[in-house]
Structures are given as C-alpha cells and as structure tokens.
C-alpha cells in the first residue's frame, strides 16, 4: 500500500478538479480510471482499466488530497497503478500542484 498526499498550489480545488476530470473523460469514453462504489461526500474510489487494484481519493484539510493506492496483484506489481495515477495527476494538474508526498507502507 502507498499513501500519497497531494498539496495544491494556492486556492486550487484539486479534489473537485480530479472528480470533474474523471467524469469528463468517462463521458467521452476515454481515460483509464473509473469511479466505482458508493458515492460519498469528499471521497471516491477509483479503479484502473488495466491494472488490478484500487485508489481511494479523499479531500483533506486545507484542500490537500489524500490518496491510498492498493493492488490486489503481486505486491511487486503495485508500482504500475501507482505510476499510472501519478502520471495522470502530473499530466492533468501539474502546474497547479505545490507538492506530492509519498509514504510507502509494507
């Protein structure tokens, strides 16, 4: 499992932008991440189209987004979904981010 803390630059609403961009891509039948599970306020669970695992995204204090990445696959394969998510974040919102903190858990 990996935990990621994403800090937006200024007053940018990163959580709202993440959820909005995923919805926009899904409506166009594009993108590799899909929102799954029950709808919750300030939290979402995503799955990747190809890689096994799930990504839990939650709104934290001061606009920080907390992400938990878990893979059902071999732990040595978890990096694939992690890499895909970080690529998505950088590609879509890179100029609006201040920091990305990664915590690796056993």
Residues in the chain, total: 106
**What is the domain extent for residue 25?**
2-104
Q: How many domains, in total, are found in the chain?
A: 1
Could you tell me the CA-to-CA distances from 16 to 34, 80, 82 in Å, in that order? Answer: 15, 25, 21
CATH classification of the domain holding 93: 3.30.310
Between CA 78 and CA 32 the distance in angstroms is: 16
Residues 6-55: tens digit of each pLDDT: 999 999 999 999 999 999 999 999 989 999 988 888 999 999 999 988 99
pTM of the entire structure? 0.88
Structure tokens at 99: 């920091």
E strands in the chain = 2-8, 33-40, 43-48, 54-59, 65-70, 97-104
């Amino acid at each position: 499992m990996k935990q990621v803390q994403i800090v937006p630059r200024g007053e940018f609403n990163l959580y709202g932008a993440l959820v909005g961009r995923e919805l926009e891509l899904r409506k166009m039948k594009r993108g590799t991440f899909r929102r799954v599970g029950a709808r919750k306020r300030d939290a979402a669970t995503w799955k990747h189209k190809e890689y096994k695992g799930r990504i839990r995204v939650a709104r934290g204090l001061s606009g920080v987004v907390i992400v938990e990445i878990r893979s059902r696959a071999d732990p040595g394969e978890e990096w694939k979904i992690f890499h895909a998510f970080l690529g998505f974040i950088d590609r879509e919102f890179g100029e609006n981010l201040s920091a990305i903190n990664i915590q690796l858990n056993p």
